[in-house]
Structure 1
Amino acid sequence: MAVPQRIPVVFTDVFPHGAYVLGVEPVNDFDKAKAGIADAQERDKVTGELVWAVRVMDADPNARAGSAEVKVKIAAAVRPVPPEPLAGTPFRPVEFDGLTLTPYVNTNGRTPKQGYSWWATGIRPVRAGAGRAAA
């Protein structure tokens, strides 16, 4: 049985209360930056495209402290454009296409911990009638 490195997941299973974009930033390749290479942005190992981190707030009111904000990485030639904010608010509701997770063991620190790396193929505004309440 072949287990994919990036495991497909359903957006509404991961974010049943929705999600809001906080920002989009390039992901730096630590080794390139350390070597002083001018273009130190990470490239996706699968596609070779630039990697961007979309900072997201999970709208789940029961999310544990410290776990309400996550980063979802997207490989794309240009910076992904977040949806427009809700009228009169700073909140940008978002849905991710092609959402996947990659589990890993974080060995930084005294005790190893289970971690997840989130990836998506794209972002888009929330569809009307998607079944989640807006802010």
Structure 2
Amino acid sequence: MAIAKRFEIAHETVFPKGAYLRGLVEPVTDFQAEQRPDGSRPQQHDKETGLRLWQCTVIDGDDEVGRREIGVTVKFAAEVQPVPPKNNSPLPWTPVEFVGLTALPYVDDSGKRPRIAWSFRAEGFATPGQSARVGEPKAAA
């Protein structure tokens, strides 16, 4: 069986009870680069595309999720900062759906016991239930 390192996965498979944006979409800092004279570091770029990397933290809406998995980081490779949908909910967090979501499993050996962890990337955001692949027209209502 041939599975690429990073594979496409449906938003509903990863977040069956929903995902909620916590905070802002921020640039990913490149800690491998030299510090600038002001002490800051440049933004990290995707190794394959050369595009800037951005990240956000989402809360997994599943009550069964463990403490270590409730806050999930999702990254984006894009030249401009991705814009999440407007929060029209009564919640303090914005309900989101990820378009073009991919996953990459890896071994996290930072704890007492190694475990399988996941790195997620997305092409963009959508309001839940209104997603279409980036670049594809949305279906008429």
* Alpha-carbon distance between aligned partners in 1 of 2:65 and 2:128, rounded to the nearest angstrom: 20
* Alpha-carbon distance between aligned partners in 2 of 1:105 and 1:62, rounded to the nearest angstrom: 22
Is 2:61 the partner of 1:56? no
The superposition leaves residues 19-65 of structure 1 with CA deviations (integer Å, 9 ceiling, x where unpaired) of 11112111111111xx2146521111121111011210111122112
Percent identity over the alignment is: 40
The residue aligned with 1:78 is 80
1:75-114 map, 5 Å: 75-114=77-116
* Alpha-carbon distance between aligned partners in 1 of 2:122 and 2:31, rounded to the nearest angstrom: 21
* Alpha-carbon distance between aligned partners in 1 of 2:44 and 2:4, rounded to the nearest angstrom: 21
Aligned partner of residue 47 in structure 1, secondary structure? coil
Give the gaps of 5 or more residues in structure 2: 131-141
The residue aligned with 2:134 is none
Pairs aligned (count): 126
Please give the TM-score of this superposition, normalised by the length of structure 1.
0.83
What is the CA RMSD across the aligned residues, in angstroms?
1.8
The residue aligned with 2:15 is 15
Matched AA of 1:36: Q
Deviates more, 1:112-121 or 1:11-20: 112-121
Structure 1's consecutive aligned runs of 4 or more residues displaced over 4 angstroms after TM superposition are none
Aligned partner of residue 95 in structure 2, secondary structure? coil
* Alpha-carbon distance between aligned partners in 1 of 2:123 and 2:89, rounded to the nearest angstrom: 27
The residue aligned with 1:36 is 35
